[in-house]
Structure 1
């Protein structure tokens, strides 16, 4: 069960990163999804279901090498100019592992005996697996440690440091689980006792990867949630303005954060286009003092009515506007305007007065 839960968390982190990073390299996505698939395949329940422990181990090791290659790709993508990662080393490793598997698989019933443990194909398999994984992890760990040292304090740097610890734990796990012939020879462990211990070390390493991944993706996930809530908040206002001025609509892109940014720009363009239709006597229709978002929503409601009636007034020099230095502040302001435009009784009364004025 622990293996499946860890696999599900790793897959969730990978899918979250896939949604967060719509363009550009997906190396971390490949890493997390490969490790998740490897954990699911190597789980005890999966092995019992398949009735064979050698084939799941081969598939798991192949997925682990793919995850290690993704780490190398991630490291090289940070260099300028970016250095491509050759494909032939991992393909060669996979081919050697398959050849070794074809040699020792027919002798699976000899597993646990010294003859099987030191069979040339078993030893070659272990050396290939361990060498490739360790070399990838060492390169990744050095780069990640330097990156974490140069980051400001926050959840992202904490996540990077946890990932460094996860990489060191994974190196230890690979050295232990990747060389069972050596450890069975120099320790008193039986073959049946070795795999549970190796799996436990692997799960500890995966817990660190999960924690590091959660910390590093936390900011991105929060940005997505904020952007989605911002889009929902400004959508009523955006629909009214696009209906009045279809030309303000920008090309569609399937990116949540960019969609919010695009809608904020379109709303601002629509508000500017309607300024000439705002009645100069609108202040007389406001019986009580209102806050700025409600006044802006009332001006928009009156301007839409006057535009439909074909009435406009000369533009006067605009007064100083409230500064919204960040996208979050701008989105919050327009969300308040959108809420007032949809629900405020004051805005409803101004709309009715404007309709009566043109009627």
Structure 2
């Protein structure tokens, strides 16, 4: 990977860790959560430490020589954290002894790896680690320990999460666990691919420091799936809320033709609205409440204009539209608006036309009124009502 991608991975890890710490601020964090954060932070930091630009930025040769060792030790520590997290997930099947064995085993691997690195006289040369004259075997041991330890730790964690995902009910928690399992699979492949250059290391005393092109996607997948699974509940709730607000704003705008016509005729239907920045008002800040208010205002306008509804219109509009109930309701409203503007009151008893009944919830009311608003603005039948009913058709379909 290039240094830019390395630093991007590190930034992603830091951002995920910081976001989780902020979200759980003031709460008691469980050991499992702390271990997961250590893993993400350790992997992200290790990738950045091993970046070519990081080594190039160190001015002292003796310190630069140890930079790759620091990066690999950070990876080993992160792998230990993910294994300990696996034991935390399997609380009933593993006790403190298993946790201690893992911690001691990982500490031993880290120590032996560091000794092998120093004894082998390993030093970075460009994109490679180069062993000293007698350092081929120590460098090979260093790489083998790293590979085996990584595969073991990731397998411990992955199997624990996989068992948990199998018993969790469908929903966001199980989806989050499955994302983590996918990240674990990427992590296992990432660790296992470290075994590819073992023979070359043993025969040549050289080893690539940077991630190979074929292993880099697995490294990125490990972080992305892991972070996605850990934060699924947070961003899923955000996306759901955002989608709901977008739908409410869209429906609010779709009701505009019908609402504007009713508001022009009956201004008093408008409820008190907040005035926002640039006069945009409440809809942008709270589109769901604005939509609820707009539906109420439309229904109030329909009720106010009910006495102006022409009793001839429903029958004529039904025939003209082929029985389309939305067109009938829109035509009745159009005729009532024309009658109100002219001061006519065709329905002397104040009953007139009753709007179609829909389910008593906002979603159903909105869906129906959006349909009525659309045909109110576009229907040829409604346009005909506004210009006046043909006399022959009007009289032949009068209501008794």
Distance in 2 (CA, whole Å) between partners of 1:112 and 1:186 is 24
Contact 2:329 2:355 in 1 (8 A): no
2:16 alignment partner in structure 1? 67
Shift of 1:65: 2.9
Contact 2:245 2:288 in 1 (8 A): yes
Change in Cα spacing, 1:349 to 1:63, as seen in structure 2 (3 Å) is closer
- Which shows bigger deviation, 65-74 or 291-300? 65-74
Distance in 2 (CA, whole Å) between partners of 1:219 and 1:200 is 26
Contact 2:331 2:381 in 1 (8 A): yes
1:163 alignment partner in structure 2? 179
Shift of 1:192: 2.1
Contact 2:310 2:352 in 1 (8 A): no
For 1:106, which of 52, 58, 65 is the aligned residue?
A: 58
Contact 2:309 2:352 in 1 (8 A): no
Contact 1:294 1:347 in 2 (8 A): yes
Q: Once the two structures are superposed, what CA deviation does each residue of 1:130-152 show, in whole Å capped at 9, x if it has no partner?
A: 6788889978x97xx67992445
Distance in 2 (CA, whole Å) between partners of 1:303 and 1:110 is 89
Distance in 2 (CA, whole Å) between partners of 1:203 and 1:131 is 19
Shift of 1:236: 1.6
Q: Which has the larger radius of gyration?
A: 2
Shift of 1:302: 1.7
Change in Cα spacing, 1:148 to 1:352, as seen in structure 2 (3 Å) is farther
Shift of 1:330: 2.6
After superposition, residues 88-127 of structure 1 pair within 5 angstroms as 105-106=57-58, 115-118=66-69
So what's the TM-score if we normalise by structure 1?
A: 0.54
Which runs of no fewer than 5 residues in structure 1 stay unpaired? 1-42, 51-55
Change in Cα spacing, 1:131 to 1:69, as seen in structure 2 (3 Å) is farther
Backbone CA RMSD of aligned residues = 5.6
- Structure 2 residue 369 is the aligned partner of structure 1 residue 334: yes
- Which structure dedicates a bigger proportion of its chain to helix? 1
Distance in 2 (CA, whole Å) between partners of 1:311 and 1:110 is 97
Which runs of no fewer than 5 residues in structure 2 stay unpaired? 30-36, 90-159, 275-281, 392-400
2:338 alignment partner in structure 1? 305
Q: Once the two structures are superposed, what CA deviation does each residue of 1:47-80 show, in whole Å capped at 9, x if it has no partner?
A: 3xx7xxxxx7467425413313434656x49xxx
So what's the TM-score if we normalise by structure 2?
A: 0.49
Shift of 1:299: 1.7
Q: Once the two structures are superposed, what CA deviation does each residue of 1:224-269 show, in whole Å capped at 9, x if it has no partner?
A: 6755653453332122233332642544132555554443333223
After superposition, residues 1-359 of structure 1 pair within 5 angstroms as 44=2, 47=3, 57=6, 60-71=9-20, 76=24, 83=27, 105-106=57-58, 115-118=66-69, 149-151=168-170, 159-169=175-185, 191-192=207-208, 194-196=210-212, 199-205=216-222, 208=225, 220=240, 227=248, 230-244=251-265, 245=267, 247-249=269-271, 250-251=273-274, 252-254=282-284, 255=286, 257-283=288-314, 286=317, 288=319, 290-312=323-345, 313-316=348-351, 321-353=356-388
Shift of 1:297: 0.6
Q: Once the two structures are superposed, what CA deviation does each residue of 1:205-231 show, in whole Å capped at 9, x if it has no partner?
A: 366469977x95898487567556534
